[in-house]
Amino acid sequence: MGRVKTAILISGRGSNMQALIDAAADPEFPAEIVRVISNVPGAGGLDRAARAGIPTAAIDHRDFDGRAPFEDALQTDLITAGAELICLAGFMRLLTEDFVNRWNNRMLNIHPSLLPAYKGLQTHERVLEDGVRFTGCTVHFVRPAMDAGPIVVQAAVPVVPGDDADTLAARVLLAEHRCYPHALRLVADGKTSIVDETVRIAGASGPTGITLNPDDGQS
């Protein structure tokens, strides 16, 4: 079986994108990154992808009259690239129900919280305001509602006294870089199935969440 042709959509610096590219640099990894597309032409991630030898495209949403024409251009690019799976990695545009449904169960997103808690933006600020002791990150299949969909992988990350939004974001980001390749591997390997809108992982008999504590020396 060939590797699953995967496109990554970004809007910014692309550190999660880089983690996926690095994982897929191993020929044994079950997904191959065939395309990186940004809706922001100057996004730093585009340069990083190009340096890794991945074909890139900038499709500026502001050049289109509304979401549907923008997504049509996106779709054409994805199909031309042969994409079978999409990873959203800091892609800051909401996608229409039509587009999401076209990629149903073939599109993943990463979000910097333990969903379904703290959907949306400013997650770390809100976590700190609430005084919760753990936060984390989630990789999930994308559904039309924002930051919703069957969860593939989560990592729990502790909030530490003295944290501000930046220190917490940095700690969560380390976990994100570990979770996303792990989730993509599971999905591309065909290990995941969705039953009643929850993900089952083939062969998993114990806990399937990860307590990824970057301070504990795990790698």
Supply the residues annotated as catalytic: 111
Nearer to ligand GRF, 146 or 204 (CB): 146
Helices (H) and strands (E) counted in the chain, each on its own, are: 6, 9
Q: Closest separation between CB of residue 202 and ligand GRF, Å?
A: 26
Chain residues in the site for ligand GRF (CB under 6 A): 12-17, 89-90, 110-112, 173, 176
**Own/partner pairs for 91-96, CB < 8 Å, 24+ apart?**
91/9, 91/10, 91/11, 91/39, 92/11, 92/12, 92/39, 92/40, 93/11, 93/39, 93/61, 93/67, 94/67, 94/146, 95/67, 95/71, 95/142, 95/144, 96/67, 96/68, 96/71, 96/144
Nearer to ligand GRF, 46 or 82 (CB): 46
Q: How many alpha carbons fall within 13 Å on the CB side of residue 2?
A: 9
Q: Closest separation between CB of residue 85 and ligand GRF, Å?
A: 17
Nearer to ligand GRF, 15 or 56 (CB): 15
Nearer to ligand GRF, 14 or 150 (CB): 14
